[in-house]
């Protein structure tokens, strides 16, 4: 797959990047043995696989499990091709323990193969669906959200917004590690609205058309000295989408904080507020109604006043009133979060294997099996 070439707009070194503890895989299809499927979409299937390089380099694993996302490009419209390219690029560049990274990719005819770390427990939404349908207790939720915030802050300080934060896009491994996944609708605040994201820096990229319109944007200064702008694309999943996105206003990383707050409620009550409404009604209510309330009591668990105040600050209608991811991480509430191993003994220990859980889910045209509601992008 040919890489793009062009002038780079972002720092060559990502702020907050750390040494990757996981080895990169190869782009050689002969090094992979595909196993059973663990996820289905309208144009893609995710399989378990075994990576066994025929010519291992020094220090690389002789064999290890992984996940392979196989995308049928013939089934994708041009807009989806653009999103897929963006996702693959961002996931290739990521060097943070809480952001999923592409570890190998190749083309075979009209199919794109993307090799990823195998997240054995699936998504947090999947875990809730099978073991915690009414929501989870505060210490568990705090542990999950703290890790998600670490990944989100990494994206934000490097000039990216995720634009689709929800439990279905928080992947969890069997050691309790939580990673941000599904970067397909993420945006780069360094680029103009019409520009391809992260051009010139991907190890896995492919060409597709883009019909976005360039819009005038405000700008603020990134820690690197580069100016960051705002977006105006209509992007996200309705129940998690910030009101400024729905209203067609310019938005920035604070839109992710709204979605983060909605996700916090989702983890506590088992579903996002208004998620049972029609998409049109959800969008209307998000703009016209007061923010969804956070119920401390009345459900399976009770939640602290501090947690309620944090969630309510995240879903403030005025983006300027919401905290940043960095500010949230500095709060004593999240600083007191338990280590990731806490999730192992609380929500993961009795889960059936991911392959067994996914056998119960049938291919659903137009939707990903790990997410009941598809993401929208009307750029």
Query: Per the annotation, where are the binding residues?
Result: 69
Instruction: Please state the φ and ψ torsions of residue 285, each to the nearest 5 degrees.
Output: -65, -35
- Average pLDDT on 267-295 reads 94
In contact, 221 and 149? CB cutoff 8 Å: no
Tens of pLDDT, residues 190-219: 444 433 333 232 333 333 222 222 222 333
- Average pLDDT on 334-338 reads 98
Same fold across 29-116 and 124-355: no
Tens of pLDDT, residues 301-317: 999 999 999 999 999 99
- Average pLDDT on 76-82 reads 67
Using DSSP, state whether 112 is helix, strand or coil. strand
Nearest to 314, CA basis, from 130, 65, 76, 145: 145
Using DSSP, state whether 322 is helix, strand or coil. coil
pLDDT at 321 over 50: yes
Residue 216: its pLDDT value, please? 29
User: Distance (Å, rounded) from C-alpha 184 to C-alpha 377?
Assistant: 10
pTM of the complete model: 0.77
Name the band, by pLDDT with cuts 50, 70 and 90, for residue 158.
confident
In contact, 141 and 301? CB cutoff 8 Å: no
Query: Per the annotation, where are the binding residues for ATP?
Result: 69
Tens of pLDDT, residues 214-269: 222 333 444 444 344 454 455 568 999 999 999 988 889 999 999 999 999 999 99
Task: Please give the residue that has the higher pLDDT: either 174 or 243.
Answer: 243
Residue 217: its pLDDT value, please? 32
In contact, 82 and 138? CB cutoff 8 Å: no
Residue 2: its pLDDT value, please? 35
Task: Please give the residue that has the higher pLDDT: either 242 or 102.
Answer: 242
Active-site amino acid positions: 164
Residue 358: its pLDDT value, please? 65
Q: Span 29-116: which CATH code?
A: 3.30.200.20
Tens of pLDDT, residues 14-38: 787 776 667 788 899 999 999 998 8
Considering only the top CATH level, what class is 124-355? mainly alpha
Tens of pLDDT, residues 117-137: 898 898 999 899 888 999 999
Max avg pLDDT among 92-106, 338-352, 363-377: 338-352
User: Distance (Å, rounded) from C-alpha 100 to C-alpha 330?
Assistant: 23
pLDDT at 362 over 90: no
Domain boundaries, the chain: 29-116, 124-355
């Amino acid at each position: 797959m040919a890489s793009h070439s062009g002038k780079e707009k972002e720092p060559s070194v990502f702020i907050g990047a750390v040494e990757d503890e996981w080895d990169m895989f190869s782009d050689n299809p002969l090094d992979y043995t595909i196993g059973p499927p663990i996820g289905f979409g309208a144009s893609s299937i995710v399989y378990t696989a075994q990576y066994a390089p025929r010519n291992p380099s020094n220090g690389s694993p002789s064999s290890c499990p992984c996940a392979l996302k196989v995308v049928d490009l013939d089934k994708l419209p041009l807009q989806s091709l653009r999103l897929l390219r963006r996702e693959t690029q961002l996931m290739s560049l990521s060097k943070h323990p809480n952001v999923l990274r592409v570890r190998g990719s190749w083309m075979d005819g009209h199919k794109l193969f993307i090799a990823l770390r195998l997240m054995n427990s699936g998504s947090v939404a999947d875990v809730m669906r099978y073991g915690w349908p009414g929501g989870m207790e505060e210490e568990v939720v705090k542990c999950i959200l703290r890790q998600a915030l670490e990944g989100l802050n990494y994206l934000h300080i490097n000039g990216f917004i995720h634009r689709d934060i929800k439990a279905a896009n928080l992947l969890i491994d069997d050691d309790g590690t939580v990673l941000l996944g599904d970067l397909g609708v993420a945006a780069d605040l360094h680029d103009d609205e019409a520009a391809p994201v992260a051009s010139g820096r991907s190890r896995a990229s492919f060409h597709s058309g883009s019909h976005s319109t360039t819009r005038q944007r405000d700008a603020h200064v990134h820690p690197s000295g580069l100016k960051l702008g705002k977006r105006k694309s209509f992007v996200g999943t309705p129940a998690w989408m910030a009101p400024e996105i729905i209203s067609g206003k310019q938005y920035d990383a604070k839109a992710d904080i709204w979605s983060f707050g909605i996700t916090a409620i989702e983890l506590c009550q088992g579903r996002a507020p208004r998620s049972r409404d029609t998409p049109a009604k959800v969008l209307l209510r998000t703009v016209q109604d007061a923010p969804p309330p956070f119920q401390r009591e009345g459900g399976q668990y009770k939640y602290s006043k501090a947690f309620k105040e944090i969630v309510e600050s995240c879903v403030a209608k005025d983006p300027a009133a919401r905290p940043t991811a960095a500010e949230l991480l500095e709060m004593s509430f999240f600083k007191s979060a338990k280590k990731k191993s806490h999730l192992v003994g609380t929500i993961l220990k009795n889960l059936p294997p991911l392959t067994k859980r996914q056998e119960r889910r049938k291919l659903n045209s137009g939707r990903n099996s790990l997410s009941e509601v598809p993401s929208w992008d009307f750029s």
